[in-house]
Structure 1
Amino acid sequence: MAATQENIKKKMNTEIELFVINKVKEYRIAAKLSKRKLSLELRLNHNYVSRTENPNLDTKYNLNHLNELAKIFNCTIADFMPTPYVKQDTIEEYLEIHPKQKARNEKMMKDYEEKGRVKREAKEKAAAKTKKK
């Protein structure tokens, strides 16, 4: 039971994702559209918007959704974005929320650094050989 409660409390969206979700919600409420109606307007599952607005779930709008939402609400995609940007490091925030992605990213960086080290050592060896001649 404790693990389930821990998962519920876990942050599921980054600050920018929450901003977009809340901005779409503002437009939806102003247009007096139900979550179900907006989901259907987007040609998505009838409870997609409801799942997106639930802070305990990680459902998000993608760029295609935002484009269609801009058409529905007669606004621009930019109207759903913060101006000029979110100050928080949202990449780091995303990696904290998604530990598997963070582990893959860390492994990739380690491999990249190792490859660079091997390449530098090979160049140094080649330069040392050239110098001896």
Structure 2
Amino acid sequence: MEEIEKYIILKVKKIRESKGVNQENLSMAIGKNISFISQIEAPSKKSKYNIIHLNLIAKVLKCSPKDFWPDEPL
């Protein structure tokens, strides 16, 4: 997994937790199975977000998709 992918996964997790949203509720809110977010946040991290996922997550968390990206290239 690329460094940028790890960064975005951790950033989504940080924002999700700061908003008090658990993995299951976020998964369901974006129309995915109950374990979708937990599979991405798992230590093995074989799954990844795509642009559509990030946009849907931003809507649920009431933030901008830009909030998930670093200010500078990694």
Q: What TM-score do the two structures reach when normalised by structure 1?
A: 0.53
Alignment of 1:29 onto 2:3: no
Q: Which residue of 2 aligns with 1:17?
A: 5
Q: Which residue of 1 aligns with 2:41?
A: 53
Q: Give TM-score, length-normalised by structure 2.
A: 0.92
Q: Deviations over 1:14-73 (max 9, x none)?
A: 110010000000111011111111100111010010000012131111000111111112
Q: Give the root-mean-square deviation of aligned CA atoms.
A: 0.9
In structure 1, runs of 5+ residues without a counterpart are 1-12, 87-133
Number of residue pairs the alignment of both structures matches: 74
Task: Say yes or no: does 1:74 pair with 2:50.
Answer: no
Question: Counterpart of 1:44 in 2: which secondary structure?
Answer: coil
- For 1:102-113, what aligned pairs fall within 5 Å after superposition? none
Q: Distance in 2 between matches of 1:84 and 1:74?
A: 23
Higher RCO (C-alpha 8 Å, min separation 6): 2
Tell me the residue number matched to 1:64: 52
Tell me how far 1:76 sits from its aligned partner. 1.2
Q: What is the identity percentage for the equivalent residue pairs of Structure 1 and Structure 2? A: 35
Which entry has the higher C-alpha Rg, 1 or 2? Answer: 1
Partners of 2:34 and 2:2 in 1: CA distance: 24
Which protein has the bigger helix share? 1
Unaligned runs of 5+ in 2: none
